[in-house]
Structure 1
């Protein structure tokens, strides 16, 4: 094998070249003590002069340089002289590049070194000359995190006024976070329990939330008096924290938010039990003060604690991760929240129904009602959302458990029986949902529920879904209640759908030895394609003000069907693979959309 194509040799060659370059151009010295040789095989010390300061830079070349940026740290003496500076953390590391926006040019490793050193000089110069103090605020979360003790989560909805909220301690294996701030205790309890966490209701705390209208200025608050200075120009907030500290025991947490360009940054601080050592004027004796001067022992007064008697008490700081569903969809999605308040019932939690349920959460719908009488078995798991560990449990339960671990704010109800059993006892049980999806592929049940809709017993839209063998095609029928469409008009007398893709779909079902062992063969990859297309259609329909009843035919890999000599219905012979056809239904007849 050509040595130049061996990855280890490539990196070692570039590393050697880079080290020689830094020694020749910058008089760098190789640092012998290195505790991170696996990740950073070589560390070099470079001396630079910035704004009159002689600064020692430690440049660590990663094992995969130049595919990753080098790390820049300050030497101990330089750090002690200059800290704090914007973009310099407590681990003495300089943040040079936002690696989400920037990436190194692997074809120019020496250029990476030069540009990194110049970037370090610019950042240090701007910090020393106080030209970039606003960047402390821009990187508030980073600096607040550096001085923190623990990590917490929040599902508190921001507001324009202070309010009482709750802090729920919890314990999750492998999580750094140890608690959740919430407006509503029951919502938080469900959030934690959905993920399998442990809580103790006796440890719940009442907490104050304060919305800050302006960014904090550096240096950020460290003591009671700093909090007083932060809030003294904001009388309602100062009054709120004074009352809160007067009424509540220590430690007492305060959650805050900072709004900037419609985005929220969160943090928390904590006031600990008052304590200070004082020297008595009488004989210089040392005493410990834990109460306010002139008050009975145990008396609390928030304003005096902040501004007078215990103004130098240090506060504890906590970074907060905002895990509200709306924020996570904005941070990890397209930010669309129009479906957040919608509720959908899914009848049938087999392979199609389970992936439909997940698809609904993907488009922002988290309130579901899952209905199915079957239990998951081994024959299901290859294409079902859930797997072998869930076998033997009711399908609605396992789908619910799967989804709520992914979306702990979701509200998912289940009915582990036949939908007709439910409608027999509660005919209008599904009318509280914005959409009813039938993923059962059972025409008698579909016709019966369609009849209930045409008779105005069911008053919400219905979406019927089913697929054909080998996923040659998949179908959807959207029925608006006001249209009073009878779906029987869309089927032939023998029960065959008029838009069937395969000429005789039943000819391609398979059967094992035994009673009721027939099954429809198809793969999960094609199923997901079908579901994704149907979810896009569903999202459009839900948000369409003048939506119409429609039939939708999703065409699978028709080329593959022909290759395997599966006969297609004549109307689809010239159709394109993986395409979608939608038609309006008017007066029980289809018309081209």
Structure 2
């Protein structure tokens, strides 16, 4: 690694040949993230003659693998974009910029040049549009010691149009752990699904607030807006609406509006308004009269509200809308529960979860769920886990067996895209196959399981469009041993104690493999699952993932044949 002190010493001397520069050690007292700071005095030409300006250039220990950071404390040319007005640091480059570290001196010179260009473009108005495109950065900061601007932790699901109207603000009333504090929704709409989920956990109170459809912010900061300024940038009709709303004396008095070029809401919070003032008879002053005539120049605390919608989240991730899938997961043990994590990446799919069991202490070593879900039905625990990620997600649960659910309501299962059978139970597999062959189950089925010690993992994909009657999965119809097992059949027939352990209870048997085996298997097989789901392949397929073959030697387990560890094979059905 290069010696940063030597690099900075060289650059300081070279810069000193063309500009006035001095070490600025006192800057480091309040900025311990830097190892060195300079004050550089240079010139800028807005119009002849050139004017002197001073920058502070600060360097992190990782320089030149991190760019120098430049501060500008003079307010003479305010306001211009690409500077944080709370700490006066320029935003010179995108965070993910890549550059050549071979010439640190050029990095410094280029950064100073970029800072000058930002000021010149700001003064000339050439980059004024950048204020609106970066409005989130400028709306959220304090300009002239106005009341503290709080991050309220609200989200919204409004239709952002030009119609002013009352909307509802739901605030979580029993929330001690959730950082999201509430949601703004349309007044006449039912509570969104995700709010229903959160309400059941945290409780909610409803407050009527006002949405202004057309509000024209100033082209540039500062955005420290008073009541007088607010009333000057809305229409006469909206002024009357604001007057009516303020005079209703709400417990939460909030006005919101669409921030241009975004799906964000900006807003203003009105603190409790005192109408009992000296010099005025009781009940003469109205709340609106106080804020428009007595406190008309008082700066209003500002609010910023993020949009929460499935569409926005999808566009923010993949960049385009994706198909919506519906999955049935039968069996929420170690493999089935963790499979939910993988499948959940498919654009917040609809899940039907089926499993009769309750999560016990013995399960959590390789299960998706942990201590906080102990003694819950696995279906309820996994549902809660998924809903904490996306509360609006559509999830149905059945604390029952797949045989029972399918027998009672086959159409319920058939309306989905596919069924994942992850019970590890041969009789469930035979039952499902019978339903498929009799065309009572009409969707594709994935059967997924692991062999002992994670020596192999298997996935069989049975598509109803293929001739399922001709597909045989077993080498022996008496033992029902899978024909592509990696462990030799003699081991299963004569040495099962190697593979099966038993806890107390009549159903306490379990197969030996680790959580690491589960995740390695699912990570290897999920790309195949993803392809089969998206391409809707009409054929049936089977795959085998081969685990750590050294374990077979360690435990003296006879294999069908030698294979490479952690390889994936496809076999013919």
TM-score bracket, normalised by the shorter chain, equals: 0.7 to 0.9
**In 2 relative to 1, CA 511–554 (structure 1 residues): closer, same or farther, beyond 3 Å?**
closer
More displaced stretch, 488-497 vs 247-256: 247-256
Summarize the Cα distance change of 1:432–1:423 in structure 2 as closer, same or farther, 3 Å threshold. same
Task: Specify the alignment match of 1:321 in structure 2.
Answer: 306
> Could you report, residue by residue, the CA deviation over 1:81-130 in whole angstroms, capped at 9, with x for unpaired residues?
22222122222423243343324644333222222111111111221222
Q: Gapped runs of 5+ residues in structure 2?
A: 143-148
Q: CA deviation at 1:19?
A: 4.5
Q: Which residue in the other structure is 1:370 paired with?
A: 353
Which residue pairs with 1:445 in the alignment?
A: 428
| Distance of aligned partners of 1:269 and 1:419 in 2 relative to their CA distance in 1, 3 Å threshold | same
Distance 2:26 2:282 in 1: 47
Asked if 1:270 corresponds to 2:268, the answer is yes
What's the CA shift string for 1:454-488, capped at 9, x where partnerless?
44554544332222334444333344557683597
Instruction: Report the 3-state secondary structure (helix = DSSP H, G, I; strand = E; otherwise coil) of the residue aligned with 2:39.
Output: strand
Q: Give the corresponding residue for 1:395.
A: 378
**What runs of 5+ residues in structure 1 fail to find an aligned partner?**
278-284, 584-589
Cα displacement string for residues 503-542 of structure 1 (whole angstroms, at most 9, x for unaligned residues):
4373675233667665434444443343245444444444
**Could you tell me how far 1:553 is from its partner in structure 2?**
0.8
Tell me if 1:128 matches 2:123.
yes
Q: 1:401 to 1:90 in 2, by over 3 A?
A: same
* TM superposition score normalised by structure 1: 0.76
Aligned to 1:586: none
- The residue correspondences of 1:127-526 to structure 2 (distance < 5 A) are 127-147=122-142, 148-156=149-157, 158-160=159-161, 162=163, 164-170=166-172, 178-183=181-186, 184-185=190-191, 187-192=193-198, 198-201=202-205, 204-209=206-211, 217-219=219-221, 222-224=225-227, 226-227=229-230, 230-232=233-235, 249=250, 252-257=253-258, 260=261, 264-270=262-268, 272=270, 298=286, 314-331=299-316, 333-340=317-324, 342-423=325-406, 428-455=411-438, 457-480=440-463, 485=468, 489-492=472-475, 493=477, 494-504=479-489, 506=492, 510-512=499-501, 518-526=509-517
Could you tell me how far apart the structure 2 residues matched to 1:240 and 1:443 are?
68
Residue deviations 1:412-464 (CA, integer Å, cap 9, x gap): 34333433344555565534544322110112112223334444554544332
The question of whether the paired residues in 1 share the 8 Å contact of 2:525 and 2:545 is answered with no
1:531 matched to 2:522? The reply is yes
Residue number in structure 2 paired with 1:548: 538
Say how many residue pairs are matched: 546
Of 76, 97, 100, the residue aligned with 2:95 is 100
SS at match of 1:475: strand
Counterpart contact for 2:457–2:547, Cα < 8 Å: no
* Contact 1:347/1:438 (8 A) holds in 2: yes
Q: Does the CA contact (< 8 Å) of 1:556 and 1:578 recur in 2? A: yes
- Secondary structure in 1 aligned to 2:171? strand
CA distance in 2 between partners of 1:289 and 1:117 (Å): 61
Q: How many Å separate the matches in 1 of 2:124 and 2:229? A: 25
Question: How much has 1:543 moved relative to structure 2?
Answer: 4.1
2:25 aligned with 1:41, yes or no?
no
Q: 1:176 to 1:64 in 2, by over 3 A?
A: farther
Structural mapping, 1:109-124, within 5 Å = 109-124=104-119
RMSD, aligned α-carbons: 4.3
Q: 1:450 to 1:511 in 2, by over 3 A?
A: closer
Residue 566 of structure 1, CA deviation: 5.7
